[in-house]
Structure 1
Amino acid sequence: MTQNWGMTIPFYDRSLANSKDLIAELPGLGYTDAWSAEVNGADGFTPLALAAQWAPGLRLGSAIVPVSTRGPGLLAMSAATLADLAPERFVLGIGASSPAIVEGWNAGTFGKPYARTRDTLRFLKKALAGEKVSEAYETFEVKGFRLERAPKVPPKIVLAALRPRMLRLAAAEADGAITNWLSPQDVRKVRAEIGPGTELIARLFVCVDEDTDRVRQIARRMLAGYLTVPVYAAFHDWLGRGEVLRPMHEAWAAGDRQGAVKAIPDEVVDALIVHGDAATCRARIREYVAAGLDTPVLAPIPSGDVPIDQAVRELAPEG
């Protein structure tokens, strides 16, 4: 598989409206991909729609759009729109997300996340191929949906997958798997579940900063917020970090947020966050690739004296 080198858009330090110039630079810097996210900032589709015009050479992907915050038909319509704007360059990344996002923020139901993801994948494959879909799935029923204008070439669909069951679903029925918050060594374990022929995509959080103490302070806060989410806690249990992260989980469960942050060991921070000068960071990213990662999607974190636009340029594969 041709080596990809992706960037997360929009950037942490600026709005989407102020991202045009830097996004337009990405192809010339050697980036092949731009991937959005959808948590509580920009939605997962609008940045890609704009990037399709601002940087027409990039492959565009969502990493990820939750399957339970939109209806199946709306997901299909949004994906078809992007596939029309970026023919054969759009990749739809979907996933279960988390109870906080689905239920707490979007008044949805986070029930049977594996089944809902599987059912949505199966529906989307039919709908994006232009079929009329009338089917009762395990987690929802669709009656007579057909896209008004199906894409000439259906987009690839990749799944957010953190543990064996979802990883195997991604390998068996989707076009790839997306993961994050893992080390190069963890990539090998994930790759073993999906085999050699399935694209593996991962968002890598990168801090171009040589002040290790400062990076660890910033990174611990990020890690505490993520690794206490049940799906990520289970992921790191599977990866073998259950015991080393136990003090963090105990402090968090007791309501001691500061204690939870402090309880994350340095070695966990250094395993999961790429940091150092730009050359060190690029070398670390290549360790992920050597371990079996097809598409690193960089997410530069603001820190120290290196602004995001400089980090984006220095982290380019040709840098």
Structure 2
Amino acid sequence: MNGSTTPTIGRYGVFAAPSRQDPEVRAEAIAELEELGFSAVWAGNSTIEEAAGLVAATSRIVVATGIQGIWHYDALRTAERYAELEAAHPGRFLLGLGVSHPEFIEGYQRPYTAMNDYLDALDAAPAPVPRERRVLAALGPRMLRLARDRSAGAFPYLVTVEQVAAARQVLGEGPLLAPELGIVLKTDPDRARALARGALQPYLRLTNYADNWLRGGFAEDDLADGGSDRLVDELFAWGDDARIRARIEAFQAAGADHVVLQSISRHGPARPPREDWRRLAELLR
């Protein structure tokens, strides 16, 4: 595989949330994902430096940053590190990029222009990052069009089936569409929704996500008090195996090439949810 070909990531990947565990513990967990048959792992809130350690600790699985923010990591350094990583481990890395949120970035403005400029810098680097080896965390139509025109595709996070279909319509045929889907392996509605709300809570206050949900047909009331049952049920898959499989298949029917599965467990980021990953691997067989 050469550096101008998008890595083969299959139909299912796993979102590995940032862990408070030692990096070696996390790398060991990612190695098990490889053994379970997953072809890609999306390393949450990571940089290319962190992803490189996961690539080095495994032998086949593709590692993607999910997502490296453009404000805190220089484009030239990204391109240099990409070239080093590609030389050492060809075809094993996918650069996921995002514009973060105004709540986190001082002086945040013109995110579309900032992303476009960052892509220009990647293209102008002595060793450019090929468009086929980068994806964008795109939600709205404008950023989705940028993902279509200047990258391999889009990695939308916390979206509904209908929003997956809308993203596919903007992207058209060809570009990669790899939406994230939260999975709660609980059948009790109250317990499942409580876990989902715990994961959703930090995002309810972020303008980019709130605007996307409102644009997708939700009301302000759906975003209040931890999120309505409707919002939770549209953004997360929970229940028995058949119900969870049905939601994953709905994402695929809506146009997803690759579904990024994020296990939502009571442990949160305290440790990798390896037991849940094993259950998901069985569920998908």
- Decide: shared fold, TM above 0.5: yes
Matching residue's letter, 1:92? L
Deviation at 1:115, TM superposition (A): 0.2
**Number of the residue aligned with 2:164:** 187
In structure 2, the CA distance between the partners of 1:199 and 1:173, relative to structure 1 (3 Å rule), is same
Give the whole-Å Cα distance in 2 for the aligned partners of 1:277 and 1:45. 36
Secondary structure, aligned partner of 1:179: coil
Secondary structure, aligned partner of 1:19: helix
Instruction: Encode CA deviations 1:63-113: one digit per residue, 9 max, x unaligned.
Output: 21111112222222333333234312211111111123323xxxxx31211
Structure 1 contact 5–31 (Cα < 8 Å) conserved: yes
Structure 1 contact 5–296 (Cα < 8 Å) conserved: yes
Secondary structure, aligned partner of 2:42: strand
Structure 2 contact 184–264 (Cα < 8 Å) conserved: yes
**Number of the residue aligned with 1:247:** 221
Instruction: Encode CA deviations 1:266-305: one digit per residue, 9 max, x unaligned.
Output: 121111011123453233212211211112111111139x
- 8, 32, 41: which one aligns with 1:34: 41
The total of aligned residue pairs comes to: 273
TM-score, normalised via structure 1 length: 0.77
Q: Identify which range, 186-195 or 63-72, moves more after superposition.
A: 63-72
Structure number with bigger Rg: 1
**Number of the residue aligned with 2:277:** 312
Deviation at 1:204, TM superposition (A): 1.5
Secondary structure, aligned partner of 1:93: strand
Structure 2 contact 199–264 (Cα < 8 Å) conserved: no
TM-score, normalised via structure 2 length: 0.86
- 134, 138, 159: which one aligns with 2:136: 159
Would you identify which runs of 4 or more consecutive aligned residues in structure 1 move more than 4 Å? 10-15
Secondary structure, aligned partner of 1:82: helix
In structure 2, the CA distance between the partners of 1:12 and 1:314, relative to structure 1 (3 Å rule), is farther
**Number of the residue aligned with 2:90:** 87
- 231, 235, 238: which one aligns with 1:275: 238
Indicate the RMSD between aligned Cα atoms, in angstroms. 2.5
Is 1:216 aligned to 2:219, yes or no?
A: no
- 48, 61, 65: which one aligns with 1:62: 65
In structure 2, the CA distance between the partners of 1:272 and 1:154, relative to structure 1 (3 Å rule), is closer
Deviation at 1:119, TM superposition (A): 0.9
Give the whole-Å Cα distance in 1 for the aligned partners of 2:284 and 2:17. 22
Deviation at 1:27, TM superposition (A): 2.4
Structure 1 contact 207–301 (Cα < 8 Å) conserved: yes
In structure 2, the CA distance between the partners of 1:37 and 1:10, relative to structure 1 (3 Å rule), is closer
Give the whole-Å Cα distance in 1 for the aligned partners of 2:55 and 2:170. 33
Is 1:44 aligned to 2:47, yes or no?
A: yes
Structure 1 contact 12–302 (Cα < 8 Å) conserved: no
Give the whole-Å Cα distance in 2 for the aligned partners of 1:287 and 1:198. 19
Q: What fraction of aligned residue pairs are identical, expressed as a percent?
A: 30
For structure 2, the 5+ residue unaligned runs are 1-7
Secondary structure, aligned partner of 2:125: helix
Give the whole-Å Cα distance in 1 for the aligned partners of 2:50 and 2:278. 20
- 124, 127, 134: which one aligns with 2:125: 127
Deviation at 1:168, TM superposition (A): 0.6
**Number of the residue aligned with 1:290:** 253
